[in-house]
Amino acid sequence: MRKLLLSLAFLLTFCVGFTAAKLTEEKPVIPAGHVTGVGGIFFKCSNPDSLKSWYTKNLGMPMDQFGTVFVWYQGAASTQHGYTQWSAFKKTTKYFLPSEKDFMINYRIDNMDALLKRLRENKVTICDTVETYDYGKFLHIMDCDGNKIELWEPYDNNYGKITGANVK
């Protein structure tokens, strides 16, 4: 009985100490205007229609004119959907310029205005101006390795309705 009480006392002491350490641990401050996830994967290929057909046939990915949309639940808001776009572009597309790379990643962000302010302060190359659509705001920048990046502040409810990807 004494060993059991000592073991329980040790376990309780450990748990209280661990909890206190976690409560007092400093959490990093995440500024407004930050990446919240991957919003899309875009790449060049020689024949987008053929590639989309291959992905449909072999991997079961339903396609539309733009590619496919992956629907998922947002972790912090587990009842809300988020979306990630997958798109194949013709090798000759100019959409990725001024990058010479064959891919572009779209990052979901939470606050375009705050992020744009910080990008300007940090002298990041901004390729265009913010464009607003029914499904969100977009901006293109270049990273330090010459990759064009698309930033997307999504309007997920509208995006789901527009693409038909809303899940009931």
In our burial notation (b when 16+ CB lie closer than 10 A, e otherwise), range 26-64 reads eeeeeeebeebbebbbbbbeeebeeebeebeeeeeeebe
Distance CA 132, CA 152 (A): 10
Name residue 72's amino acid: W
Residue 153 lies in a domain: yes
Phi, psi of 162 (to 5 degrees): -65, -45
Residue 66 lies in a domain: yes
Q: Is 114 left (phi over 0), alpha (psi -120 to 50) or beta?
A: alpha
What percentage of the chain reaches a pLDDT higher than 90? 27
Average pLDDT over residues 126-149: 91
Residue 7 lies in a domain: no
Residue 118 lies in a domain: yes
Look up tokens 């990058």; give the residue.
99
* Residue 1 confidence (pLDDT) above 90: no
Query: What is the reported pLDDT for 58?
Result: 75
Q: Residue 126 is part of a domain; what is its CATH number?
A: 3.10.180.10
Nearest residue to 165 (alpha-carbon basis) of 84, 46, 50 = 84
Query: What is the reported pLDDT for 38?
Result: 85
Strand 35-45 relative to strand 68-73, pairing:
unpaired
- pLDDT bracket for residue 161 (50, 70, 90): confident
Average pLDDT over residues 6-29: 59
Query: What is the reported pLDDT for 19?
Result: 60
Residue 110 lies in a domain: yes
Residue 10 lies in a domain: no
* Residue 21 confidence (pLDDT) above 90: no
Residue 117 lies in a domain: yes
Domain range enclosing 52: 35-163
Residue 159 lies in a domain: yes
Instruction: Tally the domains of the chain.
Output: 1
49-106 pLDDT, tens digit each: 988 888 888 777 889 988 988 877 776 767 777 888 889 999 999 999 999 999 998 9
pTM of the full structure? 0.69
What percentage of the chain reaches a pLDDT higher than 70? 77
